[in-house]
Amino acid sequence: MKLFKQLTLLVISSIVSMGLTAQSYYSPAFGLNGSALKTSLHNIIKNHSSQGWPLWSYFPSTDTKSTNIVYDIYSDVPSGIPPYTLAYGVNQCGTYSQEGDCFNHEHTWPSTFFNDAYPMRTDLHHVLPTDGFVNNKRSNLPYGETTTSSWISQNNSKIGFSNTYAGYTDKVFEPIDSFKGDLARIYFYMTTRYESEDGGWSNWTMANGAQLTPDAITLLMAWHHADPVSQKEINRNNAIYLIQNNRNPFIDYPVFADCIWGAVDCAGVGISNPEWAQQIQVYPIPTHDILHLNYPSSIKIHEYQVYDILGRTIITSTLEHKTISISSIPNGNYTIVLNTNQGVIRKLFSKE
């Protein structure tokens, strides 16, 4: 945890969207920890623009994997070939009898626990297009990790008994590992967005009102660390911001979760790069095998380090040219720290 505390601050200087900077959007929350940080984030993301039901027209902007194909976390296999795909304009539910028939709306935080009320019902941060059959199988089950599976979907999502929650003897729904972090950050968003706005919400295994239970926090924090923020989440967060004018802070600043529910100190979060750092450009983003740098001759870059989303050092080297080979590192989100004659700066990039 100490290493994570020291290095995770290296990954928080991202530009978040359309000229909006993390510095301006989250400035009231910087330097805070624990409940004070959570409440400050609530005040930043509350009062979003509530949309009308249903949400079909928004999904092509928020959840498209490739041309006209639905990005469905209950059927997709990011590291392999999905068992089937669902298309916008073709596979919208309707009725279904088996997996692969169609997609509908999945309230990842089951809507029955907030009585289908607005704005929760149409909050796109937690409403995803998913296979209707699998969605129905999940029903209102809590997310968890199964010990004995009673049903497995075609992409290996599972339903089964679990010891995730003390005193809970019913079944849980376990998504595949590639989407566990996505769901953790969705739940962190929900408990933060609706803090103190959960009158009439039900208590259930994962939460009392909008307040996550201790067992849920333990599970979701483990998922948050094991499955870091993906480009899918970044793209989705940006798209939703354009629609409903609020963001998921735990995608933009994953460290916020540790500063609220863990032991990380966010006192240094939000320290910005100096103005001269804007003269250094890192592109393209996302990139593939080569990262390019552009900067004036007055700036000399001596060496650089590349860190992954958990703060682990991936590359350390001197800079001989204005290109950096990243062909040897896996796809994901990274921070490059540039040691220059003007000082040290950080830039965010992603590889896909």
The pLDDT assigned to 176 comes to: 98
Residue 203 pLDDT more than 90?
Answer: yes
- Shared-domain flag, residues 226 and 298: no
Q: Which of 200, 346, 304, 192 is nearest to 259 (CA)?
A: 192
* Residue 93 vs residue 332, higher pLDDT: 93
Which whole number is the average pLDDT over 37-42? Answer: 98
Q: Which residues contact 298 (CB under 8 A, 6 or more apart)?
A: none
Domain identity same for 68 and 152 = yes
Q: Where does the pLDDT of residue 212 fall: very low under 50, low under 70, confident under 90, or very high at 90 and above?
A: very high
pLDDT band at 224; cut points 50, 70, 90: very high
pLDDT at 63 over 60: yes
60 shares a domain with 171? yes
Classify residue 260: in a domain, yes or no.
Answer: no
pLDDT at 64 over 80: yes
Rounded CA Rg of the chain:
21
CATH number of the domain enclosing 288: 2.60.40.3080
What percent helix, strand, coil does the chain show, rounded to 5?
30, 25, 45
Cβ-based burial of 207 (10 A; exposed 0-12, middle 13-18, buried ≥19): buried
| Higher pLDDT, residue 351 or 272 | 351
Does residue 14 have a pLDDT over 60? no
The kind and range of the H/E element at 181 are: helix 180-193
Tell me how far apart the alpha carbons of residues 270 and 85 are, in angstroms, rounded to a whole number. Answer: 40
pLDDT(1) > 70: no
Alpha-carbon distance of 44 to 56, in angstroms, equals 27
Domain end position, chosen among 245, 267, 300: 245
pLDDT tens digits, 73-92: 999 999 899 999 999 999 99
- Each residue of 289-316: pLDDT tens digit? 999 999 999 999 989 989 876 667 889 9
Residues 178 and 310 placed together within one structural domain of the fold: no
Residue 21 pLDDT grade (very low, low, confident, very high; cuts 50, 70, 90)? low
Residue 301 lies in a domain: yes
Assigned token pair, 55: 């949400």
Rounded Cα distance between 231 and 286, Å, is 9
Whether residues 91 and 207 fall in one domain: yes
Give me the mean pLDDT over the 172-187 stretch. 98
Range of the domain at 310: 275-351
Residue 350, pLDDT > 60, answer yes
Asked if residue 290 and residue 235 are part of one domain, the reply reads no
**pLDDT over 80 (residue 16):** no
Confidence tier at 271 by pLDDT (50, 70, 90) = low
Residues 218 and 313 in one domain: no
Number of domains in the chain: 2
**CB hemisphere CA count around 15 (13 angstroms):** 13
What's the CA gap between 109 and 103, in Å, rounded? 17
* Residue 42 covered by a domain: no
Residue 21, domain member (yes or no): no
One domain, residues 76 and 219: yes
pLDDT of 309: 65
* Contact (CB, 8 A) for 123 and 116: no
pLDDT of residue 282: 92
295 shares a domain with 170: no
Average pLDDT of the segment spanning 6-13: 35
